[in-house]
Amino acid sequence: MSALPGRPTDEWSAWARTPGQDAYHWRLNLPAFAELIPAAGRRTLDVGCGEGRIGRRLAAADHRVVGIDSSPTLARRAVEGGGYEEVVCGDAVGLPWADGEFDLAIAYVSLHDMPDPAGVVAEIARVLEPNGRLCVAIVHPLNRSPEHMEDYFAEQRFSDTVTRNGLTMTFEGIDRPLESYTRALSASGFVIEELREPRASDADVRRAEALASAARKPYFLHLRCRLSRKSA
């Protein structure tokens, strides 16, 4: 994955793997995203796989999963966690696989961390077979700080430190307008089949107070796309 520098990999591994720690993932993001993912096919690529939590979920559903991440630590954690046929430490703007090698690609909460999402999308299109699918989960472009909303169309970096249950995690990413993603998808030959904005239920908010804001405004954005043509 082409990611932001200084990514706190050890902290992220602890945050992601501590049961109940990441309420947004377990209660809001993953259940809704799983509904978009097609059934297991020939081969699935996990772009920006991190420590491997989505890959393990895919493997449990009989996907043959290959992962890539720019962090050596997180790539190693993904291998240790199991579920992947192969994990590569590398940059997603230069995927080390042949044209048309996959029928499905997943970019789960990774594309918005990448400096060149259009380049990554183009590479995903290259390694997908015709009519292959790409499923994307990003932080919703409307879920940004008030000062960043004052110039919605500008690309702006953010950093947010959260302490919960004795663990501290600094989240870093890039705020971009929605159009920056849709243009990248269109330019690489993708057609959007589904666009969803998962919302926390009242029951989920009662279980995890951290989700309260996700019941009032969009927190994540989910897309399922089909490769209708190979870009020139």
Backbone angles phi, psi at 7, to 5 degrees: -65, 125
Q: How far apart are CA 77 and CA 13, in angstroms?
A: 8
Q: Which CATH class is domain 9-140+177-227?
A: alpha beta
Task: Note the pLDDT of residue 133.
Answer: 98
pLDDT band at 9 (very low <50, low <70, confident <90, very high): low
Task: Note the pLDDT of residue 86.
Answer: 97
Q: How far apart are CA 143 and CA 210, in angstroms?
A: 15
Q: How far apart are CA 149 and CA 172, in angstroms?
A: 17
Which residue has better confidence, 172 or 90? 90
pLDDT band at 26 (very low <50, low <70, confident <90, very high): confident
Q: How far apart are CA 104 and CA 214, in angstroms?
A: 28
What are the extents of the domains in the chain?
9-140+177-227
Is 77 within 8 Å of 13 (Cβ atoms)? yes
Backbone angles phi, psi at 82, to 5 degrees: 85, 170
In this structure, the strands spanning 190-196 and 220-227 are: antiparallel
Task: Note the pLDDT of residue 210.
Answer: 67
Average pLDDT over residues 31-35: 95
With a cut of 90, say whether residue 120 has pLDDT above it: yes
Report DSSP state, residue 214. Answer: G
